[in-house]
């Protein structure tokens, strides 16, 4: 009987010590990847499950098109052709994007408007590169898929125009100077 009491007391002591030790451990912070996944989930919820981000535009451009193996290879080659140029533009654009993010967080609309004007040439260069890539992607498709691709491009452009119009009406980028300062 005495041995059983001693064993129970020893177990209670070990469990109690483990609880105290666990309570003294610093709180674990989620990894940056976990935070990023959380951001993607919240973005997905915010935009109603529509995919934004890498690959989203391609999904929209090739919607309703079943690609052959040859077309897939051609498309991959087009992406490879433009990959270095796109990466260079993104790297070149990073400081301005960081400054814009900081200005947005501060509520500094004047700085945002200034940055928007400064990045006009870079945005135009990016737009031209995207158009060239889109034309090459169209050329990589078989003739029977080009009509669907053109319809998807038109639909995508309409969505972009509608979104820009909504931002303008609610005081987005186009009228950043008319918003009240925080």
Q: Burial letters for 119-135: b for 16+ Cβ neighbours within 10 Å, e otherwise?
A: beeeeeebeeeeeebbe
Residue ranges of domains in the chain: 56-182
Least confident of 17-21, 145-149, 150-154: 17-21
Place of tokens 């007391």: 9
Q: Which two tokens stand for residue 127?
A: 């737009």
Helix (H, G, I), strand (E, B), or coil: what is residue 107?
coil
How many Å apart are CA 110 and CA 162, to the nearest integer?
25
pLDDT reading at 47 higher than 50: no
Fold of the 56-182 domain: 1.20.120
Supply the DSSP string of 35-96, one letter for each residue: HHHHHHHHHHHHTTT---STTHHHHHHTTT----HHHHHHHHHHHHHHHHHHHHHHHHHHHH
For a pLDDT cut of 90, what percent of the chain falls above it?
24
């Amino acid at each position: 009987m005495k041995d059983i009491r001693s064993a129970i007391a020893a177990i209670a002591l070990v469990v109690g010590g483990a609880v105290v030790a666990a309570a003294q451990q610093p709180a674990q912070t989620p990894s940056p990847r976990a935070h990023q996944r959380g951001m993607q989930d919240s973005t997905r919820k915010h935009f109603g499950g529509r995919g934004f981000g890498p690959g989203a535009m391609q999904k929209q451009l090739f919607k309703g098109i079943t690609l052959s193996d040859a077309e897939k290879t051609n498309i991959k080659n087009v992406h490879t052709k433009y990959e270095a140029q796109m990466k260079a533009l993104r790297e070149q654009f990073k400081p301005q994007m960081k400054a814009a993010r900081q200005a947005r967080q501060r509520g500094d609309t004047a700085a945002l408007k200034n940055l928007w004007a400064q990045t006009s040439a870079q945005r135009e260069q990016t737009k031209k590169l995207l158009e060239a890539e889109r034309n090459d992607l169209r050329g990589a498709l078989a003739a029977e898929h080009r009509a669907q691709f053109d319809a998807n491009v038109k639909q995508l452009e309409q969505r972009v125009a509608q979104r820009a119009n909504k931002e303008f009406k609610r005081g987005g980028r186009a009228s950043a100077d008319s918003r009240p300062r925080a």
